[in-house]
């Protein structure tokens, strides 16, 4: 894996529907952290660690197409949930580059994934209902809300 590190490559997406093993193959580091954005800057706004063709690990700065559970566990001893909590990502944030997110979204739409999801957690799990929708607001959401507010004030779109 590390032999591929630093290999400059643009994202070439396969012209087929991804199989279960593709995520691991896409989890390779594709380029070192550019100097323009330091880890401190990315940690202050974790959304910036997600770009069209890469996502940066906010622990070590490596760039990936997909930040895998394997990387987080092996190199940083944490789960994806712990990673999202530590760096302030929304819980539902997919840890992958923008292009892959789009690919998965298009694929999900194509096979009608939403229609196949029958279970609604809020109905199936009474303990969720008791919490009354209470949840912690992640840094990511705070930043996005602030930007939306400021955009509204200045009238800039
Ligand atoms: Zn890392």
Rounded to the nearest whole angstrom, what is the distance from the C-alpha of residue 90 to the centroid of ligand 1? 19
Are 69 and 79 in contact, with CB atoms under 8 Å apart?
yes
* Position 133 confidence tier, pLDDT thresholds 50, 70, 90: low
Provide the token pair at 138: 């992640």
| Between 63 and 4, residue with greater pLDDT | 63
Average pLDDT over residues 20-44: 62
Output the CA 119–ligand 1 centroid distance in Å: 34
Contact 104, 56 (CB under 8 A): no
User: Rounded to the nearest whole angstrom, what is the distance from the C-alpha of residue 125 to the centroid of ligand 1?
Assistant: 34
* Beta strand residue intervals within the chain, DSSP E: 29-31, 55-56, 63-64
Number of domains in the chain: 1
* Better-scored residue on pLDDT, 144 or 3: 144
Cβ-based neighbours of 146, under 8 Å, separated by 6 or more: none
Which is more confident, 152 or 52? 52
Q: How big is the chain, counted in residues?
A: 157
DSSP H/E element including 73: helix 69-76
Tell whether the model's pLDDT for residue 66 goes beyond 60. yes
What is the predicted pLDDT for the residue at 2? 41
Q: Calculate mean pLDDT across residues 12-38.
A: 50
CATH of the domain at 36: 1.10.10.1550
pTM of the model: 0.62
- Rounded to an integer, the average pLDDT of 125-129 is 76
Give percent of the chain with pLDDT exceeding 70: 73
Tokens of 13: 């997406």
Cβ count near 17 (within 10 Å): 12
Q: Is the pLDDT of residue 98 over 90?
A: yes
Range of the domain at 148: 2-154
User: If you measure from the C-alpha of residue 73 to the centroid of ligand 1, how many angstroms do you get, rounded to a whole number?
Assistant: 9
Q: Which residues contact 43 (CB under 8 A, 6 or more apart)?
A: 58, 87
**If you measure from the C-alpha of residue 11 to the centroid of ligand 1, how many angstroms do you get, rounded to a whole number?**
20
Q: Given this model, what pLDDT does residue 153 score?
A: 80
Range name among 70-74, 77-81, 134-138 with the lowest pLDDT average: 134-138
State the distance from the centre of ligand 1 to the C-alpha of 71, rounded, in angstroms. Answer: 6
Cα 69 to ligand 1 centre (Å): 10
Q: How far is the CA of 1 from the centre of ligand 1 (A)?
A: 13
């Amino acid at each position: 894996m590390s032999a591929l590190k630093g290999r400059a490559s643009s994202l070439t997406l396969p012209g087929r529907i991804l199989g279960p093993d593709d995520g691991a193959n896409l989890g390779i580091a594709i380029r070192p952290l550019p100097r323009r954005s330091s880890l401190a800057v990315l940690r202050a706004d974790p959304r910036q660690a997600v770009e069209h063709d890469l996502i940066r690990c906010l622990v070590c700065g490596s760039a990936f197409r997909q930040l895998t559970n394997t990387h987080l566990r092996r190199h940083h001893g944490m789960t994806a949930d712990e990673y999202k909590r530590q760096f302030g990502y929304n819980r539902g944030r997919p840890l992958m580059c923008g292009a892959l997110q789009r690919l998965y979204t298009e694929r999900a739409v194509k096979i009608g994934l939403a229609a196949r999801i029958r279970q609604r957690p809020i109905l199936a799990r009474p303990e969720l209902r008791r919490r009354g929708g209470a949840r912690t607001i992640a840094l990511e959401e705070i930043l996005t809300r602030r930007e939306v507010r400021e955009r509204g004030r200045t009238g800039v779109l």
